[in-house]
Each structure stands twice: as structure tokens, then as C-alpha cells.
Amino acid sequence: MALPPIADTPEEILRTEIITSARSPVDGELLTPAEYAELQSTLQIAPTPKLDTKVRETIFYCACGNY
């Protein structure tokens, strides 16, 4: 059994790492922790709108290969 390279950070260290930046789930833009928390609370209050039923059925129908 081979050992990992010395430069490889152990998983135990990675689990305790503090994340200081985040990406927006909306557009992938980098956000600060405060901006991310604000966006999350906004999304909780006003969730993203659902697609029209006909559009969802069309996408599902095509995605399943039932052209």
C-alpha cells in the first residue's frame, strides 16, 4: 500500500478548514460569507419560481428520449 504524497493535505485538516468564500447558487459568482448568508435568506423568503407544468413535462419527455 502506497502512502499519499507529502504535499497532499490530510483529510482531517481539510475538514477543519474555515471556508471564507462561497459561490452563488444562482449564477456561480464568488461571494463573501455575509453576501452568501444574505442570498440564502432571500432565497428562503422568495424561492425561485417553478417552471410552467407544460414546460417541465416537455423537458422531462425529451430528457427521457421520448422525442
| C-alpha count within 13 angstroms, C-beta hemisphere, residue 39 | 16
Q: Identity (one letter) of the amino acid at 60? A: F
Q: Which residues make Cβ contacts (< 8 Å) with residue 8, sequence separation at least 6? A: none
Which of helix, strand or coil describes residue 23?
strand
Rg (CA), the chain: 20
For 5-40, write each residue's pLDDT tens digit: 888 888 888 888 777 778 888 888 999 888 988 988
Looking at residue 65, its pLDDT comes to 66
Tell me the whole-structure pTM to 2 decimals.
Answer: 0.43
For 48-65, write each residue's pLDDT tens digit: 677 788 888 888 777 666
